[in-house]
Amino acid sequence: MAGKSNGKIVMATVKGDVHDIGKNIVGVVLQCNGYEIDDLGVMVSCDKILARAKEISADAIGLSGLITPSLDEMVFVASEMQRLGMNLPLLIGGATTSRTHTAVKIAPVYAGPTIYVTDASRAVPVVQKLLGHERDKLVADTRAEYDAARESYFAGQDRRPRLPIAKARERGAKLEFKPVKPSFLGVRDFKNFPLEELVAYIDWTPFFASWELVGRYPAILEDEIVGEAARNLYRDARTMLDQLVAEKWVTASGVIGFWPANAVGDDIVLWQDQTRSAELARFHTLRQQMDKGEGKPNYALCDFVATKGEDYVGAFAVTAGIGEEDVAIRFKHANDDYSAILAQALCDRLAEAFAEAMHAKVRRELWGYAADETLSTDDLIAEQYKGIRPAPGYPAQPDHTEKQTIFDLLEVPARAGINLTESMAMTPPSSVSGLYFAHPQAEYFGVGRIDRDQVADYANRKGWDLATAERWLSPILSYDPLLKAAG
Ligand code: B12
């Protein structure tokens, strides 16, 4: 980099995670402000990050992550920095990170400055202060803020009583079932899905959010404050999208399946065939334990499947990201970071659109339980359809490991070209996987915080020890395992 550098920052998406669009945006913004960014990319091990920071005498380290398992990896990096006696500022960012998590889990294990950064626009003032004269004040203010955040977190924990799991189960949704048999049972793949069919399904609102332009599409294009920026961005995006589709820069591939299924306790058993005698696989679901009062169901996803007789569930995995990395690298090599990020953001939109398009095809034709459905893209975005497609990691099933069962059943790597990392992230990044439930009363919900009784039961059902369950479920525990263990 020409000119005087304001400081060197090593940035990386942590081990097991593949998402880097947010980190890339932050990197570009910091570079524009005179900082040297040494971007190590995605799935970077702790050793590599710390070795690189030492090698180039970095002034700070920035970690990014999209999914909750990355939070633990960030705690690990911080504890390694402590063990090695480092004192470099540690910046934490990414969709799944938060001020609370940074204050409660990361800052306590590292004595050096540890700061959570919400978004790219906050990154510059934070880094300016941290690497300039205001460092001591920023560090002291942040420590005070995190002390307060920790206090309110621990105080809040006790105020949220949970129902015993047996009681929550009693209050589960008791639905009536009129199952519809899917048009086929087993697995079907959709290799090389036509990209042009996905365009109409794109939800543009999150696309603008990626660029910190807040507002709903299409109204955002006419917004008094951000309208002009939104229009320029949208014009660039549509131009690139046309080219991406026409020249097939990326390949979209998907795979879906349907099986006979029944709920057994809070699990969903998939049967090998219609005799429903031999188990093929099992999904494990988690139940809401907040006290919602009588008459309001404490949902678990298994409630949407019949316990006896005929019923079915489906699963899917789709990607619009095969080739995405090459496209981004091509633009980066041409020093065009803007187009690299734009292309990644478009692939993310296409992946979500693919999940939406496939779900519509499933409802109307492949499962066919809503054959006469006619919904616009707006209706789809507003989730006006019957049935749901919850994804492991989203609030109705916060356990990412359930993806492994989907991947095994659907033979996802071979049939759709998507792989799972050790943290259960999917690569290519622009991928979505989940389950299909057809029940007309099936709805999206958040499991919320769960108590130790359910965690122990879940561990048992999954064949895990308690510590493993507490690790995978750590973002939704209503208790702190370390505090309870200490009595
Ligand atoms: C777009 C999106 C997607 C896209 C793209 C994801 C991708 N390419 O990796 C698609 C549709 C493909 C997707 C898929 C999935 N997603 Co998603 N997704 C989102 C969404 C809506 C926005 C994320 C985003 O791209 N934001 C825009 C970018 C620019 O922002 P950002 O990454 O947060 O970065 C900004 C800041 O965080 C910060 N920052 C980021 N990094 C760094 C680093 C440093 C050092 C600093 C200082 C700052 C900083 O600055 C950035 C710029 O402002 C979020 C919800 C949300 N509102 O955050 C869920 C969310 C991230 N997804 C989630 C999940 C679960 C998934 C899936 C696992 C679901 C599934 N089973 O299919 C998959 C996983 C994908 C994978 N590859 O493994 C969860 C993750 C939490 C969790 N429980 O683990 C979220 C939070 C939704 C939720 N509420 O549950 N997803």
Within 13 Å, how many C-alpha atoms sit on residue 88's CB side? 30
Instruction: Just give the CATH number of 8-157.
Output: 3.40.50.280
Q: Give the residue-averaged pLDDT of 246-252.
A: 98
Same topology, domains 8-157 and 169-195+251-436? Answer is: no
**Closest ligand 1 atom to Cα of 392:** 71
**Closest ligand 1 atom to Cα of 432:** 72
Burial track 441-477 (b if 16+ CB lie within 10 A, e otherwise) = ebbebebbbbbbebbebbbebbebeeeebbebbbebb
Question: What pLDDT is stored for residue 486 in this prediction?
Answer: 42
Q: Is a pLDDT exceeding 50 seen at residue 389?
A: yes
Listed residue (113, 143, 145, 116) closest to 130, CA to CA: 113
Domain range list for the chain: 8-157, 169-195+251-436, 449-485
398 CA from centroid of ligand 1 (Å): 14
pTM of the model: 0.96
167 CA from centroid of ligand 1 (Å): 34
- Which residue lies with its CA nearest to atom 87 of ligand 1? 394
Evaluate whether the domain defined by 169-195+251-436 bears CATH number 3.10.196.10: yes
Ligand 1 site: residues with CB under 6 angstroms? 11, 18-19, 21-23, 25-26, 62-64, 66-68, 91, 93-96, 117, 119-120, 123, 206, 210, 212, 348, 351-352, 391-395, 398, 403, 425-426, 429-434
Q: Is 408 a residue of the active site? A: no
Residue tagged active-site, from 20, 59, 70, 210: 70
The percent of residues in the chain predicted with pLDDT above 70, rounded, is 98
**Residues 407, 412, 413, 414: is their CA dihedral positive or negative?**
positive
Q: Is a pLDDT exceeding 60 seen at residue 485?
A: no
The kind and range of the H/E element at 12 are strand 8-13
Q: What is the pLDDT of residues 270-301, one digit of tens each?
A: 999 999 999 999 999 999 999 998 889 999 99
Q: Is 70 a residue of the active site? A: yes
Question: What pLDDT is stored for residue 487 in this prediction?
Answer: 39
156 CA from centroid of ligand 1 (Å): 26
95 CA from centroid of ligand 1 (Å): 5
Q: Give the residue-averaged pLDDT of 386-407.
A: 97
Q: How does residue 1 score in pLDDT terms, banded at 50, 70 and 90?
A: very low
